C-alpha cells in the first residue's frame, strides 16, 4: 500500500527512547518484524502516544499483520481522533480486509468520535461551571437577571448536551469493549471450550464487540459479535483488546 503515511517521532518524546529509535531504524531498513518488536517493547514500558501506535500500525501492515495494523490505528485515533493520516491509513487497511466494504461505525460513535473522552469532559465541565457561576451571580444580584436572559438558557442547554455526549463517549469505551482478530483465521465456537462445535470462522482483521468473557480449564475465552450480527466464542489469544 504505497499511500500509507508514516509519522516519524522524536526519540526524546518518550523516556525509554532507545526502543523507539531502534524501531524507527528497523522500519527504515525494511526489517518490519524488528520494528514491531521494538515498538511493542516501548508500549510495554507503559508509555504511549498516538505516534507510537501509528508507527506500530504501519510496521504491522508492512509485515502483513492486518489485524494488528487495524488495532493500533484505532488506538492511535482513540488518543488523537482528528489525525487525518491515521484515519486515511485505517480506511485503506479496512478496505483491504473487507474487500472495499468495511464496517461502518454506529451513529453514536460517529457523533462522539471527533473528540476524545477527555476533550468532551473538559468542554462540558468548563461550560457547566460557567453556567452555574452565572446562575449564582444572578441569585446574588437579582438586578442582573435580565442580562443574558435569552443566552443563559442556551448556554445551559449546550452545557448539558456536552455533558451527555461526554457520558456517551465514556460508555462506548467502557460498556462496549472491542477487539480485533490478529490470527490468519480462528474457529468461532458455540461455547467457551475447545471441544465445542465450530460455528464459523473469523479472519485476520475482523473487528468485534466483546459481549462476555469466560475462563475454562485455565483458558480465557470471549463471546464476541461482528458488525453483521454473527456471534460466538473464541480464545482471547486470537485477538487484541484495549487494555488486554
The 10s digit of each residue's pLDDT in 51-103 is: 899 999 999 999 999 999 999 999 999 999 999 999 999 999 999 998 756 66
Q: 194 is written with which cell numbers? A: 475447545
- Average pLDDT of every residue of the chain: 87
The b/e string for 93-132 (b: 16+ C-beta within 10 A; e otherwise) is: bbebbeeeebeeeeeeeeebbebbbeebbebbeebbeebe
Q: Say if pTM beats, i.e. exceeds, 0.85.
A: no
Cα Dmax for the chain? 76
User: Tens digits of per-residue pLDDT, 91-138?
Assistant: 999 999 987 566 677 788 788 888 888 899 999 999 999 888 888 888
Query: Residues 61, 67, 70, 75: is their CA dihedral positive or negative?
Result: negative
Q: Does residue 57 come out as left (phi exceeding 0), alpha (psi in the -120 to 50 range) or beta?
A: alpha
Question: Architecture of domain 178-240 in CATH?
Answer: Roll (2.30)
User: Over 60: is that where the pLDDT of 234 sits?
Assistant: yes
Q: Tell which CATH architecture fits domain 11-97.
A: Alpha Horseshoe (1.25)
CA 27 to chain centre: 24
* CA count, 13 A, side-chain hemisphere, 40: 12
Domain boundaries, the chain: 11-97, 117-174, 178-240
Amino acid at each position: 500500500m504505497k499511500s500509507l503515511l508514516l509519522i516519524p517521532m522524536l526519540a526524546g518524546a518518550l523516556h525509554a527512547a532507545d526502543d523507539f529509535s531502534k524501531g524507527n531504524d528497523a522500519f527504515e531498513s525494511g526489517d518490519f518484524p524488528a520494528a514491531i518488536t521494538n515498538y511493542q517493547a516501548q508500549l510495554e514500558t507503559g508509555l504511549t502516544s498516538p505516534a507510537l501506535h501509528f508507527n506500530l500500525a504501519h510496521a504491522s501492515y508492512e509485515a502483513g499483520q492486518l489485524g494488528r495494523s487495524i488495532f493500533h490505528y484505532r488506538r492511535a485515533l482513540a488518543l488523537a481522533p482528528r489525525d487525518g493520516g491515521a484515519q486515511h491509513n485505517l480506511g485503506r487497511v479496512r478496505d483491504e480486509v473487507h474487500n472495499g466494504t468495511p464496517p461502518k461505525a454506529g451513529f453514536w460513535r460517529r457523533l462522539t468520535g471527533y473528540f476524545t473522552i477527555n476533550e468532551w469532559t473538559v468542554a462540558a465541565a468548563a461550560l457547566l461551571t460557567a453556567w452555574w457561576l452565572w446562575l449564582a451571580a444572578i441569585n446574588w444580584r437579582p438586578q442582573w437577571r435580565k442580562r443574558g436572559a435569552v443566552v443563559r438558557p442556551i448556554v445551559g442547554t449546550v452545557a448539558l448536551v456536552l455533558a451527555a455526549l461526554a457520558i456517551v463517549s465514556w460508555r462506548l469505551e467502557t460498556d462496549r469493549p472491542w477487539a480485533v482478530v490478529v490470527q490468519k483465521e480462528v474457529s468461532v465456537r458455540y461455547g467457551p471450550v475447545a471441544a465445542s462445535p465450530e460455528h464459523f470462522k473469523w479472519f485476520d482483521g475482523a473487528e468485534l464487540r466483546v459481549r462476555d468473557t469466560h475462563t475454562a480449564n485455565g483458558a480465557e475465552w470471549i463471546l464476541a459479535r461482528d458488525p453483521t450480527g454473527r456471534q460466538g466464542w473464541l480464545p482471547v489469544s486470537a485477538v487484541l483488546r484495549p487494555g488486554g
